[in-house]
Amino acid sequence: MAPERLQEFNTIVKDSSKVDVLFGYCYPSTYRAGMTGLVLHILYGILNSRADTSCERYFRYDTKSPALSVESQRPLRENHVLGFSLTYEEDIINLVQMLDFGGVPVLAEERTENDPLVVVGGPVVTANPEPFVDFVDSFVIGEGDLVINELVDAVATGPSRREVLARFSEISGFYVPAIPKTSVKRNIILDLDSLDYPLSQIVPDVAEGSQFDPVFGKSFLLEVTRGCGHSCRFCLIGHVCQPRRTRSLSKLKELVQNGIGNTPVSKVSMIGSSLGDLDGLEELVCWTGNQGLGVSVPSLRADSVTEPLLNCLVKSGQRTLTIAPETGSTDLRRHIGKGLSDTDIESAVEMAARCGYNSLKLYFIIGLPGETDDDITATVDMIVKLAKTSGMKVTASVNPFIPKAQTRWEREPQPSIGEIRRRLKIVERGVKKDSRVTVESLDPRSARIQAALSIGDRSLGKVIRAAARYGGYGGWRRAEKETGISFLDLASDTERLQEDLPWSYLRN
Ligand code: SF4
């Protein structure tokens, strides 16, 4: 049960009668998940630094109501703009439900001058906005912090909804479905050092482990890199966030010093893909630890792990090494473009054990194009071997392959739910005897839904709308029957995947 009022540090409440633009930042999932995302803190900081704008937050779950802001209980529909971040495809259901609960017409074509503009960004729509066009007035393709001020300027000075949307469509990276374009360019910022950075980040005043505690715990989020220098064939980030960019070491240290002065926490969570590729990560981690701060880093590439880095991370409180071999098969790993050898992986794990780590989190994918049962057996062998040689507790997160738009495997089909389950069983049976190993997996039905939403076209709007009425997996099934659209088969429809792709107007 959510508390009446969530206590937080660094929230900003303005007198809404004294600003021109009311912006509702909406995260279509839990408070905890939304607060873990850096984009919330970035946009909140930029928007509230403007004298003419008040930004307040809305979450689908866990706060008093999805239709009332956390800050001042401002009704959702009173905002001029509702900005949603869509990080996971299935959250579109939550987005539609939030609009509905808030009294905002769910369909873009039914909104009038008195309704907020619904703007959606995030990696999901940057890859393929088409399944979501029915519900959205404008998409932001690429990095939203680059254009957020232009968005607000257009809203503050636009005489009408139609005029504001016309202005949006002229801004780089904006895609207004009502004003089609032949191509839309993805926004990226090349120089991260030049971006404004949120130093006063919102922190919930809650006990560790509470439902409101962010995923990395109460910490200062430090974005070290954007994008990734690798481009594994299946990986969305490796394709739609390219090129890889990093902040300079001096800038990162400055951000830590100033951020800790403004955000009441004693831990720094470093954010970025393939962080270990950063020259100076070791220096940054050790320097941060020497300031008396805890440090956490996300998944590291096994070939970038060094003993001094791990020693500093252990001293700073990290005890779990997270790496993503993706598959135990060397050939398949090469085929997906991962470029890690067995030796890289084994050496990283041995180093972690020597340095005092006590657990290991390993990410694998099953159902990859070209995968055989022998490849799955190789994954089992790798998990068992790493658990045995390291003596650590191992959590193997084994998730179904999901074809994503704009990746090199965007046209590859996903195996059926039954086949994914069969392959998953091979892994579960193979590791069952080792009590140190736990296997966790995304429900293959969710993977099916995610795949359809990743590669689908605008005909899916009808399915989404019906599924949002019913909720849950059963809701998708009912929606499929009601609309007559074979939504759940989409990801394995190989013929369809040979046709022109719905997102072909997006160019990088
Ligand atoms: S899987 Fe990891 S290393 Fe490969 S492209 Fe994605 S983020 Fe980069």
Residue 370 included in any domain: yes
CB 265: neighbour CB atoms within 10 A?
18
Higher pLDDT, 507 or 411: 411
Whether 217 contacts 266, CB under 8 Å: no
Burial class (CB in 10 A: 0-12, 13-18, 19+), 363: middle
What does each C-alpha distance from 450 to 45, 90, 124, 343, 433 come to in angstroms?
31, 6, 10, 33, 32
3 preceded by a cis bond (ω within 30 of 0): no
- Same-domain pairing of 239 and 368: no
pLDDT at residue 1 in the model: 44
Q: Is the shortest distance between the CB of 306 and ligand 1 below 6 Å?
A: no
Q: Does residue 91 sit in the same domain as residue 126? A: yes
Number of Cβ within a 10 Å radius of residue 301: 22
Range of the domain at 439: 319-508
Asked if the structure places residue 1 within a domain, the reply is: no
For a mutational test of ligand 1's pocket, the pick from 225, 226, 230, i.e. the residue with the most ligand atoms closer than 8 A to its C-beta, is: 230
* Count of C-beta atoms within a 10 Å radius of residue 137: 23
Give the end of a domain, one of 185, 210, 225: 185
Q: Is 246's C-beta closer than 6 angstroms to any atom of ligand 1?
A: no
β partners of residue 223:
271
Q: Identify the CATH number of the domain in which residue 444 sits.
A: 3.30.750.200
CA of 230 to the centre of ligand 1 (A): 6
Residues 312 and 392 in one domain: no
Closest residue by Cα to residue 54 from 77, 21, 82: 21
Is 200 found in the same domain as 177?
A: no
Give yes or no: residues 22 and 145 share one domain: yes
Other C-beta atoms closer than 10 Å to the C-beta of 85 total 24
Q: Is 3 domain-assigned? A: no
Atom number in ligand 1 closest to CA 228: 8
Is residue 494 predicted with pLDDT exceeding 80? no
Same domain for 71 and 138? yes
CATH number at residue 311: 3.30.750.210
* Cβ within 8 Å of residue 162, ≥6 positions away: none
Instruction: Tell me, yes or no, whether 272 lies in a domain.
Output: yes
pLDDT at site 508: 63
Residue 276 Cβ < 6 Å to ligand 1: no
Q: Show which of 260, 290, 318 is a domain's final residue.
A: 318
State whether 287 and 237 are in the same domain.
Answer: yes
What is the position in ligand 1's atom list of the atom closest to the CA of 235? 6
Do both 23 and 123 map to the same domain?
yes
- Distance from the CA of 176 to the center of ligand 1, in angstroms? 30
318 lines ligand 1 (CB under 6 A): no
Q: Is 191 helix (H, G, I), strand (E, B) or coil?
A: coil
User: How many separate domains does the chain show?
Assistant: 3
What CATH code is carried by the domain that includes residue 144? Answer: 3.40.50.280
Find the 273 Cα to ligand 1 centroid distance in Å: 7
Judge whether 473 lies within some domain.
yes
Cα 73 to ligand 1 centre (Å): 40
Residue 86 has pLDDT above 90, yes or no: yes
pLDDT reported for residue 19: 98
pLDDT higher than 50, residue 182: yes
Query: What pLDDT digit, counting tens, does each position of 213-243 carry?
Result: 988 889 999 999 999 989 899 999 999 999 9
Q: How far is CA 274 from the centre of its chain?
A: 15
pTM reported for the whole predicted model: 0.96
Tell me whether residue 77 is in a domain.
yes
318 and 296 Cβ atoms separated by less than 8 Å: yes
Instruction: Confirm whether 92 is domain-assigned.
Output: yes
**Overall average pLDDT of the 94-104 stretch:** 98
For the stretch 136-146, pLDDT in tens is: 999 999 999 99
